[in-house]
Amino acid sequence: MIPELGHFALIIALGLALVQAVIPLWGSFNGRRPWMEMARPLAAGQLTFLVLAFACLLQAFLTDDFSVLYVAEQSNTLLPPIYKVSALWGGHEGSLLLWVLMLGIWGAAVAAFSRNLPLPMISRVISVQGMVAIGFLLFTLLTSNPFERIFPVPQEGRDLNPLLQDPGLAIHPPMLYMGYVGFSVAFAFAIAALLGGKLDAAWARWSRPWTTVAWIFLTIGISLGSWWAYYELGWGGWWFWDPVENASFMPWLAGTALIHSLAVTEKRGAFKSWTVLLAISAFSLSLLGTFLVRSGVLTSVHAFATDPSRGTFILAFLVIVIGGSLSLYAWRAPSVSGGGRFDLVSRESFLLVNNLLLAALALLVLFGTLAPLIYEAAGWGKISVGFPWFNTMFVAISPFLVLAMGLGPSTRWKHDEPARLARLLWIPFALSLGVLALCSTGLIFPGNLSVGLGLGLSTWLVLTQLVALRERLKNKGGLKALVGDLRNRSRSFYGMWLAHIGVAVFIVGATLVSSYGSETDLRMSPGAVHEVAGYRFQFNGAQPHDGPNYRAQRGEFVIYKGERQITVLHPEKRSYLSGGMPMTEAGIDPGFLRDLYVSLGEPVGDKGDWAVRIYYKPYVRWIWLAGILMALGGLLAVSDGRYRTARKSVQVPAGGGLARA
Amino acid sequence: MKARQKRLVLVGLAIVGVGAAAALALTALQSNISYFFSPSQVMAKEAPADHVFRLGGLVSKGTVQRAEDGLTVTFDVTDMAQTVKVSYTGILPDLFKEGQGAVARGRLGDDGVFYAEEVLAKHDEEYMPPEVADTLKTAHAKGMTGASDAARVAEQTTGAAAPGAVAQ
């Protein structure tokens, strides 16, 4: 009975979404206040029924109701309870329901936290969100109903894929989806503004915190995914340029460009059309990502639940959303363009460079991801694009991005003197060149050009951010200003500052781990010793070991540096009781400056030998530390007091404009 | 400079940048793509002898052999019509199994053995890389095989799937 209730709740949610998409929007055009005022309650109602549907499915999982097909496919009585919860989004139908639920949460949040927005604006935003919800609810109900029953009822479920039975992956999809779906808010604001024909600084100010919050979730989601792939897949890599990873990275690149572009639109009134285009792109890329992951058109190492017929539906939806919003853009954008002028040397210019480069990177990733499809469609053969291509693209373009990132924060809006910039920044520039030269030539330690480039760029980034901070504090009266800024109103500068430092930390981590990391495949007999980067790995054989729902062979590695024993690692080779599929659980000794990483391949020969893979990963943690810093930077920026207090002051003129539109 | 000139400079720079990026992207692409070939195509000498490509099909039952020492492993990949011997040194992915689909990336040696740098295996009973499924379907359709295996496996491509694994 409960699953039918859930199904019914989804149908009601669809009905509400239909009303939500039409009535408030209509009301906003002919000025009917009661119609517009329906927007907020509708968003809340939408969320209520989605939560109800979600709770029904959750109940089916927790009570092992295998009469529900999706539960039978994803869960198992032996599964630990926490993974019964995360099994809910372990497959296609459930993750789609999570997607829709997130959409409901964002919609209700916009309705609840934007009391200061003019009514026509908010009703249009919520209507646009209703349209997106219609698409996804139809998709769920027509092609992927999670509440479908199965008869005869199986005794036991098929179990959750063992790779997904992991705390990192339990929270990775919700974070990622919060990010993906969060861009629907930026999208809805952009479409609402296009519909109203008025794009101004106020619009950018309303849209900015929402976009930043979505970006924070996406940043955390991507970092978690990378961390999970690193320790769980047992390949020791942190990024594979896999289509599924690219699917999350493209919206991130577009979203990063968007939050910078919104800054210009809010502060200077420039880049308006461009900002709208980015908002449309960021959300379209999120949809495209969903399409790529769900349709199975691309061979992916993590091809989850693929089904071509579902792909067709998403493709159609994608065409409607992208086609529709771009047509609206083409029709309306000419009337909203124009805005603040700026000189060649100005902060706007550097932000423009940043935007163009980020957009170029997003396009390149898109091209690389879709190239196999393009080639096949054109009859040029079946290809795959190797990850060296993606690396080459990023290494070629990112340095310019980092140069602009160093220049931007110290440059004045509208107009600046090149001489002033040179006076401010010549020391960081000289020092970075020095680092580049020293590391490239290997005078201090064995370096090469890529190490020199990476460390030189991060030096440049850190020093220029320090200069920008010093300049800001000098103008505001010393360290006391720092405390004051952080305590009340101007946190956004420090948010930007922290996120930029995060980028520098990322470059250090990525450069060092790819230049000095090592990977060794070897065959080890019990008692054998192998040395990597000054660490001695002693293999003590593998023993059987039983877990709650799996059996494992558990290896023991004792690791020494010099004569000192550092740690003992226990990598495992597991087979789950519900299915024969084996899984590698790596043994990792994490550290701030290096990780030691061992994984078991397979037993070889009959003397207890194992195929073993040993990794030495210097500075690999810095990659995820960077993700944390960027997310914290985002949080600081969002908590800036101006988003709460200043809203009222811009409300009146903007509201008047919208009401007339 | 006048505003118009400035805008021209910016637009010019943007065009030069986009052009450079596109040129770089396409040149680099040439050396980084790998084509997919089936065992039948390899035997028909359609695959390049001097370039990395991907070979895919089913791993023939009973052909996986480990060397006495070291990590070299050899196995046969078949599309039910033709078979190519593959040699790989390293750790195979968890989901690599006899009788199931696999894709190997590497070069064809002069001795007719395919030397793989990377092996990608399917990850559960129901997933098959689309290229492999096509390969099997093609071989089946041409009547080159009587094995119902190929058709069965090819039909499974639409099933639910979960992560595969890569060994490098």
Average pLDDT for residues A181-198, to the nearest whole number?
91
The structure tokens listed for A547 are 């877990």
Q: What is the pLDDT of residue B30?
A: 81
The structure tokens listed for B84 are 């190519």
By DSSP bridging, strand B53-59 and strand B33-37 are parallel
d(CA A481, CA A127): 43
Assign 3-state DSSP to chain A and report helix, strand, coil percentages, each to 5. Answer: 65, 10, 20
The interface pTM score, or ipTM, of the predicted complex is: 0.75
List the single residue in B10, B90, B129 with the smallest CB-CB distance to A521. Answer: B90
Residue recorded with tokens 């956004």: A492
How near does any CA of chain B get to the CA of A260, in Å?
Answer: 18
Which chain B positions have a beta carbon within 8 Å of A344's beta carbon?
1, 6, 9-10
Q: Is A244 in contact with A302 (CB distance < 8 Å)?
A: yes
Determine the residue among B27, B54, B71 to mutate to test chain A binding: the one whose Cβ has the most chain A Cβ atoms within 10 Å.
B71
Pick from B42, B24, B130: which is nearest to B78 by CA?
A: B42
Residue A397 burial (CB count, 10 A): 20
Q: What is the pLDDT of residue A210?
A: 93
Q: What is the pLDDT of residue A59?
A: 94
Give pLDDT tens digits for A139-156: 899 888 999 998 888 888
Average pLDDT for residues A161-187, to the nearest whole number?
86
Pick from A206, A188, A212, A203: which is nearest to A339 by CA?
A: A203
Residue A145 burial (CB count, 10 A): 18
Residue B162 has pLDDT above 50, yes or no: no
d(CA A58, CA A85): 7
Determine the residue among A304, A346, A382 to mutate to test chain B binding: the one whose Cβ has the most chain B Cβ atoms within 10 Å.
A382
Q: Is A204 in contact with A266 (CB distance < 8 Å)?
A: yes
Q: Which residues contact A217 (CB under 8 A, 6 or more apart)?
A: A175, A176, A178, A179, A182
Average pLDDT for residues A223-242, to the nearest whole number?
84
d(CA A328, CA A265): 20
Residue B149 has pLDDT above 50, yes or no: no
Give pLDDT tens digits for A607-656: 888 999 999 999 999 999 999 999 999 999 998 877 765 444 443 333 33
Check residues A376 and A319 and name the one with the higher pLDDT.
A319
Most confidently modeled range among A150-159, A167-176, A206-215, B30-39: A206-215
Residue A443 has pLDDT above 60, yes or no: yes
Share of chain A above pLDDT 90, in %: 47
Give pLDDT tens digits for A538-569: 999 999 998 888 889 999 999 999 889 999 99
Residue of A nearest to B46 (CA): A381
pTM of the model: 0.89
Residue recorded with tokens 């939500």: A20
By DSSP bridging, strand B114-121 and strand B83-89 are parallel
Q: For A42-46, A407-411, A473-477, which range has the lowest pLDDT when averaged over its residues?
A: A473-477
**Would the CB atoms of A383 and B34 count as touching at under 8 Å?**
yes
Radius of gyration of chain A (CA): 27
List the single residue in B6, B33, B165 with the smallest CB-CB distance to A383. Answer: B33
d(CA A203, CA A520): 54
Q: Which residues contact A547 (CB under 8 A, 6 or more apart)?
A: A574
User: Which runs of consecutive H residues, i.e. helices, occur in A197-242?
Assistant: 201-232
Average confidence score pLDDT of chain A = 86
Average pLDDT for residues B74-91, to the nearest whole number?
90
> Does the CA dihedral A373-A378-A379-A381 come out positive or negative?
negative
Count of alpha carbons within 13 angstroms of residue A39, beta-carbon side: 33
By DSSP bridging, strand A564-569 and strand A550-561 are antiparallel
Radius of gyration of chain B (CA): 21
Q: Which residues contact A288 (CB under 8 A, 6 or more apart)?
A: A247, A250, A318, A366
d(CA A205, CA A455): 36
Q: What is the pLDDT of residue A143?
A: 85
Which chain A positions have a beta carbon within 8 Å of B10's beta carbon?
344, 349, 352
